[in-house]
Amino acid sequence: MTIQWFPGHMTKARRQIQEKLKLIDVVIELVDARLPQSSRNPMIDEILQGKPRLIVLNKSDLADPAVTKQWIEFFKEEGHLAIAADASSGHGIKEIPLLAKELLKEKIEKQLAKGINPRAVRALIVGIPNVGKSTLINRLAGRSIAATGDRPGVTKGQQWIKVGTEMELLDTPGILWPKFEDQNVGYRLAVTGAIREEILNIEDVAFFGVKYLVKYYWEPFQERFDLKEQPTDFENPDEIVAVMEAVGRKRGCLVSGGRVDLEKASGILLRELRAGKLGRYSLEAPY
């Protein structure tokens, strides 16, 4: 296993986020709905220091809806409000400001009782790279934020983006890092393309993905690659490799002697998987 978790990165990210916590009322924690646990930072509770938090399971258009539902329940049991969303199409986005306000209900009620008119809820989006933070910010803002900020000559300080009249969003998200202590976390991230597969062995990444998919999502897999029988022993590497070879043959990844080029087959398989060609899937379930 060659991927590493750099404590230096995390210390810096943590400091930057904690600076921003002083300015905001709620945190919107973005995770990937296909792997909600592996795509979050395990130290998140400690980092956020009790700030009210909404968990958004983004890219839910790519995840197994039944498993996403289980995750929402799971987070609820942990005491967090959670919602599934798809920042690309905008599905589930309208609810975010409403839920952010819901998190501050008690505070808002107290203010109203004292005759104070509550100001807009101030929020910060946090998450690991590639979970869709920029897409969500742009979607909530209704325009492209990064494009304006990146214009030469425009000095970019901390800016607030108005989301309707009830929420204001910090324009730069807080970036967290995943932790790969458990190597399965690294593999799940690599299967979805959240981390570059080159830092892992591509055949190992594909093997990990195939093993999970043939077990839980056999039908779309079988259909796409014209496979015959579902493996019976998922723990037997030979059975999984036989599936990968069948995929390779189907895609014409042959080398001299009729052997299958597993590296090439792995690359093709991962590309098709990420492009959604094998349908919706989740790589981990809470129960």
Annotated binding site: which residue ranges?
A: 58-61, 130-135, 174
- Shortest-Cβ-distance residue relative to ligand G4P: 132
Residue 281: CB minimum distance to ligand G4P, A:
13
Q: Which residues are annotated as a binding site for GTP?
A: 58-61, 130-135, 174
For 89, the 3-state DSSP assignment is coil
Minimum distance, C-beta of residue 135 to ligand G4P, in the bound complex (Å): 3
User: Dihedral of CA 273/275/281/284: which sign?
Assistant: positive
Q: Nearer to ligand G4P by C-beta: 132 or 231?
A: 132
Q: Which is nearer to ligand G4P, 57 or 269 (CB)?
A: 57
Rg (CA), the chain: 22
Nearer to ligand G4P, 88 or 222 (CB): 88
Sign of CA dihedral 25, 70, 66, 217: positive
Residues at the interface with ligand G4P (CB under 6 A): 58-59, 61-62, 86-88, 127, 129-135
The total number of residues written for the chain in this structure:
287
In the complex, least distance from residue 116 CB atom to ligand G4P, rounded to whole angstroms? 35
Expressed in angstroms, the distance from the first to the final Cα of the chain is 27
Minimum Å gap between C-beta 268 and ligand G4P is 18
Q: Which is nearer to ligand G4P, 42 or 129 (CB)?
A: 129
CA atoms of 250 and 244, how far apart (whole Å): 10
Q: How many CB atoms lie within 10 A of CB 32?
A: 28
